[in-house]
Homo-oligomer: A and B are copies of this chain.
Amino acid sequence: MSDKRTVGVIAGRGIFPATFVEAARKKGVRIVMAAFKGETESEVAEEVDAVEWFRVGQLAKPIKFFQQEEVAECVMIGQITPGRLFDLRPDLRVIKILASLSERNAETMFRAVADELGKEGIDVLPSTTYLEEYLPAPGPVFGPELDEAGLIDAAYGMRMAKEVSRLDIGQSVVVRDGTVLAVEAFEGTNKCIRRGGDLGRGKNVKLVKVSKPGQDLRFDVPVVGPDTILACREAGVSTVVIEARQTLVLGIREVRELCEKHRVSLHAQEEVDQPG
């Protein structure tokens, strides 16, 4: 053991874990990873100071591993869909959690897991820890800057997306010229992008992705990445509006290249006051 700060990573799919590991490394942090078979990318597991592999559905063993490695703080990052997390042979600890929940959605389940970790002396940190540089401040981020009409529409979309997420429906809407073309509910962002792009017929169409008012930053933080820009490009969505300082841009170098190459605007918008 060293006297560096140790942070545990409960690592799901995609580039989020690798982004965290790179950022935490720069701060000289010791990283202990609980990786999940079929979810975590194997490359990232080779980069950390200690790793063990688990099945999705196991909680007791990852906790024991973290305790052995003296992990007192961890992050839960990368997608593990709640279905995947609990469908596959849950261990007794997970069964107990499930039984205690009256509502089962991503938020209640992740919160319950976080509470369980907390009882074992392991705090769950915001999943944005060390990632401030991936949380854009207000203004143009990459690609063509919005003109005045674009900015008005971005503010409109932000207001609509905030209302929709306040209702716990979803994080994204697709808008054009003051009309909501598509609302993301259960189908996921990429299908919402495709539907909105089709309905908007490639003119001034904007994806707006936001956090929930009072978002718990330990999980479900809105993320955009290269696949978001590619999905928009394919669907004829020309602008991506994210919430300033609340949305993670992952794969940021690739996102920049894609925005510039395909002329997709990435714009960070501050939440405006709600009328009424």
> CA separation between A195 and B169, bound complex, in Å?
15
The residue in A169, A173, A179 that gathers the most chain B C-beta atoms within 10 A of its C-beta is A169
The answer, yes or no, to whether A182 is at the interface (CB within 8 Å) is yes
Find out whether the CB atom of A185 lies under 8 angstroms from the CB atom of B178: no
Q: How many identical chains are in the complex?
A: 2
Number of interface residues of A (CB under 8 A): 23
The answer, yes or no, to whether A180 is at the interface (CB within 8 Å) is yes
In the complex, identify which listed stretch (A85-93, A138-146, A159-167, A233-241) lies at the interface while the others stay far away. A159-167
Give the interface of A toward B (CB within 8 A). Answer: 103, 105, 160, 163-164, 167-170, 173-174, 178-183, 185-187, 195-196, 199
A103 in complex: contacting residue of B170, B178, B180, CB < 8 Å = B178
Find out whether the CB atom of B178 lies under 8 angstroms from the CB atom of A186: no
> CA separation between A230 and B43, bound complex, in Å?
50
The residue in A163, A169, A174, A183 that gathers the most chain B C-beta atoms within 10 A of its C-beta is A183
Q: Check A187/B182 contact, CB under 8 A, given A163-B167, A169-B160.
A: yes
> CA separation between A213 and B164, bound complex, in Å?
17
